A and B are shown apart, each in its own frame.
Chain A
Amino acid sequence: MTTEVEGRVVHGPKRPGVPALEARSLTKHFPVHNGLRRGSTQFVHAVESISLALPEGTVTAVVGESGSGKSTLARMLVQLIAPTSGELLLDGEPVGTSAKARRDYTSQVHLVLQDPFSSLNAVHTVRYHLERPLKLHRRPGSAEELDELAKSLLERVALSPADRYIDKYPHELSGGQRQRVAIARGLAVEPRVLLADEPVSMLDVSIRLGVLNLLDELRERERLAVLYVTHDIASARYLADTVVVMYAGQVVESGPALQITESPAHPYTQLLLSAAPDPQREGTVVLRGRGAPPSLIDPPSGCRFNTRCPFAMDICRSSTPPALPVGDDQVAACWLHSPDHKPEAPVAPAP
Chain B
Amino acid sequence: MTPTTPTTPTTARPSAAASTVGAPVLEIRDLCVDYGLGPKAVRAITDACITLHRGEVLGLAGESGSGKSTLAYALTRLLRAPGVITDGEVLFHATGPDGAPAPMDLLAATPAELRRIRWSQLAVVFQSAMHALNPVARVDAQLTDALKAHRAGMTSAQRRERAVELLRMVGISEDRLRSYPHELSGGMRQRVMIAMALALEPQVVIMDEPTTALDVVTQREIIEELMLLKERLGFAIIFITHDLSLLIELADRIAIMYGGRIVEQADARQLFHAPRHPYSLGLLNSFPSLHGERVRMEGIPGSPPSLATLPSGCAFHPRCPYAMDRCREEVPVLMSPTGETGERTAACWLQDGRQEVPAPLALTASPAAAPTASTPTATLPAPQRPAGAAPSDGSPL
Residues on A lying within 8 angstroms of B by beta carbon are 65-66, 174-177, 204-210, 213, 231, 233-235, 237-238, 257-258, 261-265, 267, 270-282, 285-292, 307-314, 326, 336, 343, 345-351
Contact = CB atoms under 8 A, between A and B. Distances in A.
Contact of B243 (A209, A277, A312, A326): A277
Given A65-B217, A261-B290, A175 B303 contact: yes
20 contacts: A205-B243, A209-B299, A237-B288, A238-B294, A238-B297, A261-B376, A265-B380, A277-B246, A277-B287, A278-B291, A280-B291, A282-B372, A282-B373, A287-B221, A289-B217, A311-B397, A312-B397, A313-B396, A348-B377, A348-B379
Interface string B237-255: 0000011111011000000
B272 interface: yes
A275 B300 contact: no
A274 B64 CA distance: 27
A238 B303 contact: no
Given A261-B290, A326-B379, A309 B216 contact: no
B381 A282 contact: no
Given A279-B287, A336-B380, 5 more contacts: A213-B299, A272-B216, A277-B216, A285-B224, A343-B381
A275 B304 contact: no
Contacts of A276: 216, 290
A42 to B, nearest CB: 19
A337 to B, nearest CB: 9
A198 to B, nearest CB: 13
A237 B294 contact: yes
Contacts of B249: 277-279, 281
A313 B298 contact: no
Interface of B: 63-64, 185, 187, 215-221, 224, 242-246, 248-249, 272, 282-284, 286-291, 294, 296-301, 303-304, 371-373, 375-385, 387-388, 391-392, 396-397
B379 A206 contact: no
A234 B288 CA distance: 6
A282 B299 contact: no
B379 A350 contact: yes
A290 B187 CA distance: 12
A204 B224 CA distance: 26
Given A65-B215, A177-B303, A209 B286 contact: yes
B248 A279 contact: yes
Contacts of A263: 376-377, 379
Give chain A's interface secondary structure class: loop
A46 B256 CA distance: 41
Nearest to A270: B378
Contact of A310 (B244, B287, B383): B383
B216 A231 contact: yes
List 5 A-B pairs, minimum CB-CB distance, nearest first: A209-B299, A238-B288, A280-B373, A345-B381, A275-B220
B53 to A, nearest CB: 22
B373 A205 contact: no
B273 to A, nearest CB: 9
B322 to A, nearest CB: 16
Contact of B290 (A207, A278, A311): A278
B374 to A, nearest CB: 8
Nearest to B298: A209
A278 B217 contact: no
A206 B283 contact: yes
Nearest to A351: B377
A240 to B, nearest CB: 10
A277 B245 contact: yes
Nearest to B387: A286
A310 B391 contact: yes
A210 B375 contact: no
B290 A234 contact: yes
B60 to A, nearest CB: 14
A268 to B, nearest CB: 9
B395 to A, nearest CB: 9
Contact of B218 (A273, A292, A308): A292
Contacts of A349: 379
B221 A290 contact: yes
B363 to A, nearest CB: 14
Given A280-B373, A281-B249, A272 B379 contact: no
Contact of B373 (A261, A264, A278): A278
Given A65-B216, A205-B287, A276-B216, A347 B297 contact: no
A227 to B, nearest CB: 18
A265 B303 contact: no
A276 B290 CA distance: 9
A206 B290 contact: no
Contacts of B385: 310
A314 B392 CA distance: 10
